[in-house]
Amino acid sequence: ILNVEQSPQSLHVQEGDSTNFTCSFPSSNFYALHWYRWETAKSPEALFVMTLNGDEKKKGRISATLNTKEGYSYLYIKGSQPEDSATYLCAFGGTSYGKLTFGQGTILTVHP
Amino acid sequence: GAGVSQSPSNKVTEKGKDVELRCDPISGHTALYWYRQSLGQGLEFLIYFQGNSAPDKSGLPSDRFSAERTGGSVSTLTIQRTQQEDSAVYLCASSPTPTANTGELFFGEGSRLTVL
């Protein structure tokens, strides 16, 4: 059984705060690490697909880093806005084909 | 040009009944996944289809669950003799590539199943 763990489980921040959360995954047999955002009443949407140790990806105010040797990825949100409120999911790909194992998610609430 | 489509969006059924959940992936996507999210849990992998290869059924929780994908497109997840613990949101996703290291998943909006 693969352990993909996310922390914290939930997070409340004020508008304008910067925040970050963690995804931990097995450090062996790594192929990919995905991040998704899941807003209430919508479908999960991909943020990043990361494959190389040391990868850094950025999309607007959101960025992510990857450390495959120690098995973790950080997701950062700079200057949080209420519309960033969502569940953030990471998913680990430990094989060359497509199966992904998801973490339980971090629920982010940004208060105006 | 539509996204992944799932039906029904909501299904309430009685314990012991069979249910079918349908997924219409994005045209041309070769990989198709079923996941479910039970209350308070993360996304649980159920089954993965890739082209004409044998599906990875390793996540199906019991033999009451089965899925098929016809013509490499539409998929149906069938749950026989539903139990209350089957209550969850069932999510379908498709991907244009078969490999985890390049293929982001495109999700449908899910089918919420409630078993009374």
Q: How confident is the model at residue B102 (pLDDT cuts 50, 70, 90)?
A: confident
% residues pLDDT > 70 (chain B) = 97
**Each residue of B26-37: pLDDT tens digit?**
998 989 999 999
A71 touching B (Cβ < 8 Å): no
Closest CA to B36 of B23, B25, B47, B45: B45
Q: How confident is the model at residue B90 (pLDDT cuts 50, 70, 90)?
A: very high
Q: Are A97 and A2 in contact (CB under 8 A)?
A: no
DSSP states of A7-60: E-SEEEEETT--EEEEEE--SSS--EEEEEEE-TTS--EEEEEE-STT-EEEET
pLDDT of residue A96: 64
The answer on pLDDT for B91 being more than 60 is: yes
Tell me if B106 and A95 make a contact (CB, 8 A cut-off): no
**Each residue of B37-54: pLDDT tens digit?**
998 788 999 999 988 888
**Each residue of A39-97: pLDDT tens digit?**
988 999 999 999 999 999 999 999 999 999 999 999 999 999 999 999 999 999 887 67
pLDDT of residue B2: 79
- Which of A36, A95, A104 minimises the CB distance to B100? A95
The answer on pLDDT for B20 being more than 70 is: yes
Tell me if A36 and B48 make a contact (CB, 8 A cut-off): no
pLDDT of residue B76: 97
pLDDT of residue B34: 96
Q: Between residues A30 and B72, which one has the greater pLDDT? A: A30
* Total CB pairs under 8 A between chain A and B: 84
d(CA B85, CA B15): 10
